[in-house]
């Protein structure tokens, strides 16, 4: 199993949370840098996926904005590498050539959200604030009402929110309505949660979440 790269607590709790921007178009990087710095974020730009992956191993950011149409090593390839690393920070993918299969593939590979170019500056600012805020809450507290279950640290902020809904008996449709996402997106997050926690089915997932004593059985699966 790939090495785990958890969320850096300081990357979201500091005065200027770090956002990494991965796009080979320097004008996009410059525009996002200006926007996000005005919104109170520190930024760093990368023109290719490989240089970004090298840096992210040493310095996990609070959020990533990733273009899918990167030269050579594509954005989807980067997402797969991050998934193998069990990367915890939220990833917002952007593309000027969007289509439903590509968006679904990005979500299945770990993206939190998808924006088609050109997008309103306000939309991107809102997405980044939402993503970083969710990660900050996740880094600072446990899922309300549940034990410090094995593997909790592997989940992104959105995955913890989905898990909270699932554990309280919400259907995909109900969870999606409460979280402001589609039932299909809830389904994708549920599948990723079960994969990360090593749950075979819904009952096994609840056993892991509700029991601290599950630590030994979880460790034996890694």
pLDDT tops 90 at residue 49:
yes
Q: For residues 215 and 128, state if they share a domain.
A: no
Task: Report the pLDDT value the prediction gives residue 122, as an integer from 0 to 100.
Answer: 95
| Least confident range of 13-22, 30-39, 120-129, 152-161 | 13-22
Average pLDDT, the chain: 81
pLDDT tops 80 at residue 111:
yes
Q: For residues 55 and 162, state if they share a domain.
A: no
Let me know if residue 186 belongs to a domain. yes
Task: Report the pLDDT value the prediction gives residue 15, as an integer from 0 to 100.
Answer: 53
Cis peptide before 151 (omega within 30 of 0): no
Residue 62: which domain range? 9-138
| Least confident range of 100-114, 162-176, 182-196 | 162-176
pLDDT tops 70 at residue 143:
no
Q: What are phi and psi of 46, to 5 degrees?
A: -135, 140
pLDDT tops 90 at residue 140:
no
pLDDT tops 50 at residue 220:
no
Q: For residues 127 and 160, state if they share a domain.
A: no
pLDDT tops 60 at residue 16:
yes
Let me know if residue 134 belongs to a domain. yes
Q: Which of the given ranges, 123-127, 147-151, 159-163, has the highest pLDDT on average?
A: 123-127
Q: For residues 57 and 125, state if they share a domain.
A: yes
Q: For residues 117 and 153, state if they share a domain.
A: no
pLDDT tops 70 at residue 174:
yes
For the chain, percent of residues with pLDDT exceeding 90: 36
Q: For residues 132 and 151, state if they share a domain.
A: no
Let me know if residue 88 belongs to a domain. yes
pLDDT tops 90 at residue 32:
yes
Q: For residues 26 and 67, state if they share a domain.
A: yes
Q: For residues 97 and 42, state if they share a domain.
A: yes
Q: Which of 89, 71, 102, 79 lies closest to 19, judged by CA? A: 89
Task: Report the pLDDT value the prediction gives residue 144, as an integer from 0 to 100.
Answer: 53
Greater confidence (170 vs 76) lies with 76
Let me know if residue 2 belongs to a domain. no
Task: Report the pLDDT value the prediction gives residue 147, as an integer from 0 to 100.
Answer: 55
pTM (2 d.p.):
0.63
pLDDT tops 70 at residue 219:
no
């Amino acid at each position: 199993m790939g090495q785990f790269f958890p969320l850096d607590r300081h990357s979201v709790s500091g005065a200027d949370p770090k956002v990494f921007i991965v796009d080979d178009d320097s004008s996009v990087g410059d525009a996002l840098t200006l926007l996000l710095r005005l919104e109170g974020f520190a930024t760093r730009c990368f023109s290719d996926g490989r240089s970004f992956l090298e840096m992210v191993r040493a310095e996990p950011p609070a959020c990533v904005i990733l273009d899918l149409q990167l030269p050579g090593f594509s954005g989807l390839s980067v997402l797969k590498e991050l998934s193998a690393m069990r990367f915890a920070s939220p990833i917002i993918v952007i593309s000027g050539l969007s289509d439903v299969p590509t968006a679904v593939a990005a979500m299945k590979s770990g993206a939190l959200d998808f924006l088609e170019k050109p997008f309103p500056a306000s939309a991107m600012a809102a997405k980044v604030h939402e993503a970083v805020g969710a990660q900050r809450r996740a880094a600072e507290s446990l899922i309300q009402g549940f034990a410090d279950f094995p593997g909790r640290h592997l989940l992104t902020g959105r995955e913890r929110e989905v898990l909270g809904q699932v554990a309280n008996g919400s259907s995909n449709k109900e969870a999606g309505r409460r979280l402001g996402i589609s039932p299909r997106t809830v389904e994708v997050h549920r599948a990723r949660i079960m994969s990360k926690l090593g749950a075979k089915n819904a009952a096994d997932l609840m056993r892991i979440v509700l029991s601290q004593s599950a630590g030994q059985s979880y460790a034996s699966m890694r």
